[in-house]
Homo-oligomer: A and B are copies of this chain.
Amino acid sequence: MALRGRYEIRLSGSGGQGVILASVIVGEAAALKEGLYAVQTQSYGPEARGGYSKAEVVVSDSPIDYPKCVRPDISVVLTQDAYDKYGLDVKEGGLVIADNFYVRDLKGSPSIRTYSLPIVRVARDELGREIVTNIVSIGALAFFLEREGVMSISSLRESVLDNVPKGTEELNLKAFERGVEIASSAV
């Protein structure tokens, strides 16, 4: 991979969907596997008590001045609330990955590429563990990040394995691979 410049990634959903761990995994993939600069942040306001969760990763081939997303290149949204708040504020030509179980009402925009993917359905119905929703998301994100030239699928896969509890590697690897597949089937 050879990322030039700055690339902004946002993940949002409800508390318990694991978006913070997902963003840590993405940040570590960028820094530890790809040798990029990366800053990972989560911001909480008083609304966080409502179970709302948002995390961001900014990656760059040079030191990062402003550590938060100005306007994301790609945004993963796992609930309708997250979509309503963040589904349309990606950059012109940017990408939105929306879960098709919790996000039913897509507004769309001609300048945004929105993919509605069965992230939660794969985690819950196919793999039997909704807790791996975040890892399925990372798989889907990995497909697009590799295609955009930001980082490789294998860097993200390694970072997933570095960060999940011992004994759960097989389940999480499966979740990751299915995430890659549902994304590749959608384009």
Contacts and interface: CB of A to CB of B under 8 A. Distances in A.
A74 interface: no
* Count of identical protomers in the assembly: 2
A169 to B, nearest CB: 15
Interface in A40-65: 40-46, 48-49, 63-64
Interface size bracket, A side: 20 to 34
A165 B165 CA distance: 9
Given A24-B20, A68-B67, A39 B49 contact: no
A49 B32 contact: yes
A37 interface: yes
Contacts of A20: 24
Contacts of A45: 31, 37, 63
